[in-house]
Structure 1
């Protein structure tokens, strides 16, 4: 797969898009408009309300019951539609409304009401006025209700629109069987056999929050009691829909679409914002030439079932057969986004949650897929050499170029270009593994085939073999001084093999395709660390450490640094990185073995062995899973004034050249302040006699984050000393902050 960087093509593309937008701005096809609609005057609205009030005597309603105009729009044949909320003592009764049709003179033609001011289930006219316990003076104020919902749904979210809280009366609605249906078997019930009954009312706040949390919109409506702050009900206010896509490569898959104006669209605003279309999208390039690619329009369909699951036959690009390519594109795009976000905390391709799109059906004889850094999008061509280019690993590969483009910017030449291409190969394999194992969770599972492009090949012959790149006849298996002289698609080979060994391990059997003669230490078959850890290390190195000119040697060093930071100095993961690069002739091999660990029972799996702590600090907690294993240390989290401690005493060897303390830390907090540290965790060092020697770090509610982060702190200045490491938490009188510690390690 090739990355496209032609500025001439980019200019043509930009001009084409500008023309398309200009046409849209000029109106496009015109439709006949109805005569201008004039809203009712205040006098007309007041007259309408007076007419409705005149009917109260027949409904058992008194003067405390009123109406407020919510919206109005034109009806048929010159009529006007008014929608009014029902009120009690000036407060809206939630879900109780009237829709009133009037003629041009304001006369009422028809009234349709959802009347929840009376106990409809009993068929009586008992009104809300008959429930004197309803007090419309709130005890809980609006901001407190908003804060409660924000804390419960997205405490770290950013408000896309200002939150609101409306005082309402919340009817407590139950469903009962209608007369005559009391003894019907459940299987025989008809919708009309159940009726609503108002069991009571509660003064409440209707809270609406429109936030972005971790790159995804969190639009929540909630009902919060205005008397005691309980959440009575809540629901998602973002109206996305899940469709069914008949995929060529993944069977029937659930694809995220939206519904508007009577059609379904391959548009997903929950995965990215901004960008060309304002959200994730798949479009029909409609055979626009690859020399001047145009994205075309977003796919639409009358029903939310897409594609026929068959290879494209050259007919319509937007019929069922043409939609199949779009299904695969959207499925791959969704899984790439989710794999990045859920496992790496990386939002969209640029980490900034900028939405991207894929345009399918480019050209008519174009057997290629590419990522375009100008539009930051992807194109899938139409040709005859492949069954279709929308397999999970191909899409993950091309979108991987977008990640590199937004982060390290590895130059696409020489060894550096090989690393660029290798990152995309690796990304494609990890997206494939993620998607084929359900497309959920915060870890990359096993399950990919380690053969890039196997699915798209009519013969089943892949484009790359990750474990033995030279099987294609041109790629290299190991580094050599001439590696930088060949095409990046082939100089990627050694790094691809390195990653396979890092994840899956190697073979000690000479002649086996997974054998490396460069592994000379014990054991001759290195141990792998699995997809998830291998990808975390590789992703971290590319996005946080690689530069545009990183070569294989530099990549090895920065991969080892990443492993040390994630899993500890000289950890088995760091050793595996060293051995995996040694296996492709980058650096010397080392024995696996077990490094000398200073901290005892750093993962707490042996309970309190080696540790001194406050009561109920070390254990298994339902509120928080351990980083590894089943146990961890849980400090704070009480929401009241308290302190907690966790300590261990050890000696750092006098000849130590490094002494980095590493640990996994998760901070969760109900505090909402972005400025004040109300609750803290201090990591300090004391002498064996208890004399303070220094503070390594201090964390607080301001550092709260989803999941664990790996901390690395130097203790080299204390080498040759017996010291006590201390984790000490302090909480104030309200709003909990939890400090969860796991996998504490110090390897000299």
Structure 2
């Protein structure tokens, strides 16, 4: 994407306003990032896309849903991280994507996804929610969409980059309150009290225009309805801010240059490969205008001593000692940004693939800004004017270069909450680069001290920094905590709460309400949360941003994925994971948790073990916990989806062949006044026919493959408002109409004459608006022959049998061995007051 990331808020004139660290430890060698990822061949891409497609059924997706692999980056050694865009009927679904971790053999290890595609079908579920799928044939031409945007945005503008228009499916989102938060006052809402859901879908063009109009750059992303030409959404895409040299802010610093003949070049060939110059380079833009900046040529000098350490004299030479100081600032900052990521994390350059970049200095005249531009993956720096000195301070350089990291990985959309996280990620990168550089720029950890926790103090002529990470509101514009209005702010201000989160995560908080380091949302013990230090905090953030976040990640999603990243690095129930929860709670994202409970923290003591069973055999998983406040409550998950009714320390069920490869985990929650939840590790179920005589006779008994195998009123199969699956995401929802209706599901199966047993099970949930014991609405479960004649009625259920959650029903079908029979679920509902009969996990296992 040809976006530009600028450091400063849109109105620079708005600058009038006026912890204890924990131990750090080097990352284990196996946790360092691998070597640069090789470019994926068409065959490798197709193979991964096919592997992802094979997982569609488990997610309740049909064949119209697909994947497009967009880019790959290094993971930990032995793994690769791939980003795959979700598609529907061949069109990308905006903001819906998967981050996939694979091993060296291409096998999928894990998947972190943003799901904005599930309503894209013609099912009853989609119709019930109004999320009807759009017609994918546009009536507005791509060229007309571009022309309309150009005419409205900058009719006399000059294109810096060729305009683009991508036809896609655009999910129009809305914010809704979760269960339990419906009656909360707006001011009392926590970020986890609301969620973004798809309101409806539009066929649209994403139009990218990168223009210059007069002296101003106008970079815009616009969503245009492909049927009407109307603008659906729009946001600014201009994303802002071994020789020796005398830098302006750091004294005499070592810089790497290249000797060519008798001339020294400001080209560091030891950091990065390829790119425009074959190494990290500093070039002289020589006052080329902001509206059309030209990087110019690499700085050269007859000696290897550069700069005079003084602010550039406006109108003076850009190549003498005074003019070279801006280049010294830039190269020293670039070297330290590269080294901090490579030496600490194993991440090479901005994209992880060690691609060289460059910085152009002396942009425009008295230019009060700096920006990263993904179109060239480079940075432009101004000399400063009325508000700033030269913008090449170490934290500003680190900030802009970390925009390059985000651009190459999560690519957080530069608007709303995701835009604030984008800016915050760069502020975090800038601060950690500053800490690393101030300590000498060596070593494998981010030092505990050295940065000042404010952005751009050195460059400010007034002495007031751009942003205060420890208390964002000190700038007069940024909030300290999340609220529902955060998404409406300029991204440089909506970054504030996440900056504060990171400060607390690293340095801790203060319990005094008069302190700048106090949070009203921290109400557990100790009231002053304990930080974990720069090094660990940065590792967790970097992992989440590069391996978990997607382009649509918001504050709530960031919190959950940060917890996951901390658990992967330091363990489930670790103090680091607890610190992440507390740091986000401190900005009103999630509730606070105690650092210890009942003397010892709640932790997992017995992890679920991976097992192998035969089809029809009993699969059993067990989790154990200690610490915290008993009694505990349990939840089990299959492939990331909650299993209804699985609320004990042990979860058992009859395994089907379709369960092969399923991954299970559990959460344990204690009974403290502010409950603490810990998550177990993953356990994999292998369902193998080797050595066993059990056979599953039902096809698609969990309905995860849609209507496959079933006949009758198949529109009842899907995902519907008000009901949940027993396992997975899909189920059969019979009834629930509140009016006269008849609905039936059937499937023919064969029970061999040699069978010694045949056991039928299914999960049934009944809820009703009826009252009393009179059976108004009924579900009859029967066995019929293939002509439809009833051979036996297994059970009749009615509104009088309503109960919370699913009940597992079991029947013996041995009497039907040697026959092909028809399983039948038949529902009748009277003229008023609904009863819902929700069926899932239908199984007939023969021995």
Larger radius of gyration: 1
Instruction: Please give the TM-score of this superposition, normalised by the length of structure 1.
Output: 0.50
User: Which structure has the higher relative contact order (CA within 8 Å, separation 6+)?
Assistant: 2
Q: Which has the higher helix share?
A: 1
Instruction: Please give the TM-score of this superposition, normalised by the length of structure 2.
Output: 0.44
